[in-house]
Amino acid sequence: MKISIVIPTFNEADSISRLISDIRRNLELNGYNNFEIIIVDDNSPDGTWMIVDEESRRDSRVKLIRRINIRGLGSAIVDGMRASTGDYIIVMDADYQHPPEVIPELIERAISIGADIVVASRYSRGGGVRGWSLLRKIISYGALIIAYILIAESRRTRDPISGFFLVKRGVDIGCVKGKGYKVLLEILVANPNAKVIDVPYVFRERLYGESKLGLKDIIDYIIQVLELSRISKFAVVGASGIPVNLGVMALMLALGSPVDIASLAGIESSIAWNYLWHEVWTFKYMFRGGVKGVASRFVGYHVSVILGAATQYAVMRILYTILSLNPLIGQLLGIIAGFIVNYTIARRIVWIKPRL
């Protein structure tokens, strides 16, 4: 059994040698002699990569990936993971905020429990943070809450934004883009059935150097969470269906079609359009079934929107008949009414109970 440790670095010259020795010692003490330590350095101006290069000459288990024209924590982690060959891959920071003593525990728990993902967690009982300003605490909790609200898969761990975690080989990292800070979140979303467990640890103060977390990272984070969030994708797709609906209806009317046929054709086109995007985008990790699955999901999606669709048509028809309103405006008001109906059904019938 082989262990891979992946460490992204940028200007960590003060700590990297000591960290490599500490990791080596912690692994060997626990009988893990088959390992590699992959350092992914973005050509640090302080020469971190030169130190790693020397280390790798002394111990071939230390490997350097020096990236010249790319910069970024997330993509560094992804590159390191892709280059790794171990059965278990551990990702951690170089600044001692992630204590190397926790590594053997992550491996032991992964093996004994048969977990696919082990998260070193600050927010589990026994874990914590040391030396954080109030602002940093607020940012971190804010990030946690945003993830919990928008991404169901994140709720499998107490610390979905941890930068310290283990994944077993076989966990799908193929779709992880590594944009933004939160690689673990992406992995959790891409692997909805992976078994996840937490190991508490105390996030320590930085020993050397300084944090690179800035405002841009916070914005990136929010964008990343929205991109990963199914509900925001669902809303985007729904909104994109409106021009499809109205466009098809307008085209049909222009071609001389009766109002009812045009309205229903618009509605059906938007349902088919939305279905397509939900299939390939919103729910792409949820349903990977075969051709048969596609047909049943297509029908199922129709069933789920039938009342909203009926509302759309009825509102258009009533406004057109009674107020002689332009049928396209009637259709748009129908879309809004249909949205309210769909939301109400979802809220009152499907998702009635608060989640614990």
Positions touching ligand GDD (CB under 6 A) are 8-10, 12, 40-42, 71-73, 76, 93-95, 97, 140, 161, 163, 181, 211-213
Strands 62-66 and 202-203: unpaired
Residue 163 near which of Mn ion, ligand GDD, none (CB within 5-8 Å, type-dependent): ligand GDD
Q: How far is the CB of 127 from ligand GDD (least distance, A)?
A: 12
* Tokens (6 digits) for 323: 């107020």
The continuous run of DSSP H or E covering 230 comes out as helix 230-254
* Tokens (6 digits) for 17: 């040698």
Task: Select 207 or 345, whichever has its Cβ closest to ligand GDD.
Answer: 207
Helices (H), 73-229: 73-83, 103-113, 134-150, 183-190, 215-228
Task: Report CA torsion sign: 139, 143, 149, 155.
Answer: negative
Helices and strands in the chain, H and E counts: 11, 9
Cα–Cα distance, 199 to 324 (Å, whole number): 66
Residue 42 near which of Mn ion, ligand GDD, none (CB within 5-8 Å, type-dependent): ligand GDD
Task: Give the residues across from 171 on adjacent strands.
Answer: 169
Q: How far is the CB of 166 from ligand GDD (least distance, A)?
A: 14
Q: How far is the CB of 248 from ligand GDD (least distance, A)?
A: 45
Q: Which of residues 219-258 bind Mn ion (CB under 5 A)?
A: none
Cα–Cα distance, 272 to 278 (Å, whole number): 10
Q: How far is the CB of 184 from ligand GDD (least distance, A)?
A: 8
Task: Select 97 or 154, whichever has its Cβ closest to Mn ion.
Answer: 97
Cα–Cα distance, 138 to 151 (Å, whole number): 20
Site string for Mn ion, 83-122 (x = CB under 5 A): ----------x-x-x-------------------------
Task: Select 94 or 189, whichever has its Cβ closest to ligand GDD.
Answer: 94
Q: How far is the CB of 24 from Mn ion (least distance, A)?
A: 21
Task: Select 97 or 269, whichever has its Cβ closest to Mn ion.
Answer: 97
Cα–Cα distance, 318 to 327 (Å, whole number): 10
Q: How far is the CB of 64 from ligand GDD (least distance, A)?
A: 11
